Every structure is written in structure tokens, then in C-alpha cells.
Amino acid sequence: MDKNTINVGLIGFGTIGSGVVAIFNENIDLIQKKVGKEVNLKKVVDLDITTPRGVEIAPEKLSTEINDILEDPEIDIVIELMGGYEPARTFILKALENGKHVVSANKALLAKHWEELNSAAQENGVRICFEASVGGGIPVLQPLNESLAANHMESIYGIINGTANYILTKMSREGLEFKEVLQEAQEKGYAEQDPTFDIEGHDTAQKLIILTIMGFGEYVKQENFHVEGITRITPEDIQFASEELGYVIKLLGIARKVDSELEVRVHPTLIPQDHLLASVNDVFNGVYIVGDAVGPVMLYGQGAGMMPTASAVLGDCLDIINHPQKNIPYGPPESQVKNIKDLDNVISKYYIRLTALDQPGVLYRISKILRNYNISLESVTQKKRSHGQAVPIFMVTHEALEKNIKQAMEEIDSLNVVQEKSMFIRVLED
């Protein structure tokens, strides 16, 4: 990319696309000084080019025809911000085949079609960059791929969904029920009208796939690891974790190497209150990385939003202009792990919440089942007594095998004295 003018084409003129145009308008002098070349946003393509976006753009730069970007030999970099699987996948592949570098924030597409997209970039000698796909404006992927490249990664823990984090933060601060906070989040625009993708952990899972590629050189499809959301978390869980145990509850994406095996999972997690991730609140994101040489590194910031995400998009563009042949293929050259560890074989401490009748012998029966599965208890708390009525019982185990916990809880739930399906949450200790 040795010519003096670099032309950029933008597919998708929505919220993030508008942010990209705004940064071009406001910071073009800074951008051009940093690359030593003229950088021109030549064309913006969207199905709707008439609705005002609140940013200035010359009418001749707007188009509804995708080939005005894909087939234009003068366009060097294509930014894809339309989202979804199709036609985004087709457009990106065509751009790569035509020798154009690609920048995308499309975590869903990357997580599902990583091998195909990365191979297409490699075969055509161009780059595909996607810093904005994880953590919005937080620099995460470039540090993993460059600054921390001399490390064997030990673990990556991410609070990487602002909706879920906002809900858990609000529940913690105000003692509100999940459904009540979700409704407020929807009213404020922090949650979609259909929030399933966020609250059930799928958004976190897609971002974790990308982090796992960058950190461990391993592509793990979502169907191959455990994904669990936050819908069953109660104010009682949060209060007990905080006041009695000294923990906070967060929805965590975990990629963790144990010996030569990699654990990949998404679920609510009890985190010690003095852990750096415990202070990541509201809609903010945080990624906690541990390398064998560097030790712990914390990356924190706005995980979404127009301008933070657009900032990451244009950061990728500048990096491509300065280093057009860097890191092809993108990411570690080979896997740092031998295999993916099945969740049943994961060892963890567990927080357990039961609702059982307050009768003599109930705790004995429950404890006996746990002992039969080699599960020992660190603590047992019954917060209130009401003889013959259902009461909550809170337990914390010592380290136990996931498979044993599942089997024990299934057996406990079958007891006639247990009134509701039990809840268990894994505990993060390191």
C-alpha cells in the first residue's frame, strides 16, 4: 500500500457507521498525520441513504449499490458494519477476493465463520481486522496479538456484555428483581426489546470465541462449550454473595488453560470483591488477562456505543495503512493447547441455593447426597426459620468436580422436601 492516497469504503451507515463518518470529519488531519498519507472515505453504501444521521457527508459519496465499493479498484479498505451473517459474509469474502483489506465489528460472523474468513484473507494476501468486535473501544485483540505475543496465555476472563453487567450491577446496588431491572434497561436503551442474546450469554460467547482465537490460537465453536445466562440470579443470591461471602456476581466469559487443556465457558460467576473485575460495573466492560511472563493485565472501558466502537474501527484502518502485510494470517500461528476440556471435568468451588422445607433431618439428607458425590461443604447457612415451611438454604462447597455437582443437585432436587429447582454458581478463586 505504497500509493499516496488510501481510499476507504464503508458498508453500513447505522449507528457505528455514523460514528466512523463523524471521526473522519473531525479528526481527518490527525489520521493523515499518523499515516503520512491522504485518507479518503470514498463511498458509503446502505439500503437507506435518505434518513438524516446527524453527520455531514457529501451526497455523491452515498450509494445503495454494493458494487460501488466491492468492484471499485481504487478502494483499498472495506469497513463492514452492517452486522448479521448474510449478506455480510458474502460481501466480506468478495472484498477479500478482490484484494481489499477488511475491517469489521461483526462478532457473530467472525465467531461462526472464522476459518473461512481468515483463510480467504490469507489466500489473497490481505488483512482482516476486527478490534471493534470485542469490547467496543477497548484495545484487547491487538495487545493479545502484539504486546503480549511473547507470553503463553494462562487465562482470559471477560465481562464483555454491557446489558448483562448493567442488570447485575443494578440488582446489586438496589436489591431489585431481575425482571424489574431488565424492563428499566430496555426503557433506557441498554437492552434490546428481545434481550435473549445478551442475558442468555450468547453475545459473551461470540466475543469469547474471538478472544480464545487471539489468546490461545484455538478456534472453539459455540456449540462446543457451555453457555449460561443470568435469568435465574436473584437479589438473595447477590446479597448473600456480597454480605456473607465477600463476592460479587458477574456474567463471565472464561478461557483458561489448565496444564495443556483449555476450559472455555460462559456463566454467572462469583468473583472476590477485591478482584479487579469486581469493580467493572454498569455498561462498562473489562478483560482480565494472565500471561506466563507478564502476569495479570486488566483492560477496561466502554464496551459498546457509537464513538468508542468507531474509534476501534478506524484504529484498525490506520494499522492496515501502516502495516498492510502484518500478521497474515491474523492471530497465533498454532494452538497453545492440546484439547478442549469438557465442562464435566472442570474443578471449581460452588455456591448453592436451595429452597427446602424446614423439617428435622432435611440438612442431613442433603449433606449425605453431597458426600456421596465427594462434595464437601465449606459453609451452610439457613437465613430464616419457619417450621414446616419452605426456607432458603445457602451452601458453599470446597473444590468439586462439575459432573459430581450436577448429579448431586439432580438427586437433591428430586427430594420431596425440596420445593424449587436448586441453583448453583461457580466461584472464581484466582
Instruction: Tell me how far apart the alpha carbons of residues 178 and 299 are, in angstroms, rounded to a whole number.
Output: 28
207 is catalytic: yes
Residue of 42, 100, 107, 207 marked active site: 207
Contact of 146 with 323, CB cutoff 8 Å = no
User: In whole angstroms, how far apart are CA 39 and each of 45, 92, 364?
Assistant: 18, 21, 72
Distance (Å) of CA 261 to CA 145, 171, 216, 257, 339: 21, 35, 11, 6, 5
d(C-alpha 59, C-alpha 32), whole Å: 23
Which positions are catalytic?
207
